[in-house]
């Protein structure tokens, strides 16, 4: 029987894995800056092409999807905690 950690038992994800994180908010330059600063704190090796943006139909809101190589559930939890506490981000999924 292989050793397993509580983290392995709690998450269906197998780390490391490719994982998209989406943050949405009002279409302002501050939103994109905030998302990238947060992501760079937790994922210093973001690859080229890992960030995609999409405006809402009327251009009032924007979604920013950052695809990362997630190393652990703790890393993902820390990213989501910081994203959801940012004043520029309405929600993150």
DSSP line for 51-83: EEEEE-TTSSEEEEEEEEEE--HHHHHHHHHHH
* Mean pLDDT calculated for residue range 36-59: 94
- CA–CA separation, 52 vs 72, rounded Å? 23
Q: How confident is the model at residue 44 (pLDDT cuts 50, 70, 90)?
A: confident
Q: DSSP letter at 26?
A: E
Q: How confident is the model at residue 11 (pLDDT cuts 50, 70, 90)?
A: low
What percentage of the chain's residues is helix, strand, coil (to nearest 5)?
A: 35, 30, 35
Whole-number pLDDT of residue 2: 44
Query: Which carries the bigger pLDDT value, residue 29 or residue 8?
Result: 29
- State the pTM of this model: 0.85
Whole-number pLDDT of residue 1: 42
Length of the chain (residues) = 93
List, in order of start, the domains of the chain with CATH numbers: 13-92 (3.30.70.260)
78: tokens are: 């820390």
């Amino acid at each position: 029987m292989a050793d397993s950690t509580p983290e392995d038992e709690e998450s269906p994800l197998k780390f490391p894995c490719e994982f998209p994180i989406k943050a949405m908010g009002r279409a302002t330059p501050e939103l994109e800056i905030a998302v990238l600063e947060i992501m760079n704190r937790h994922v210093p090796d973001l690859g080229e092409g890992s960030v995609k943006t999409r405006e809402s139909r009327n251009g009032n809101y924007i979604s920013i999807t950052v695809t990362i190589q997630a190393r652990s559930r703790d890393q993902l939890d820390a990213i989501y905690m910081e994203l959801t506490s940012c004043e520029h981000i309405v929600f993150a999924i």
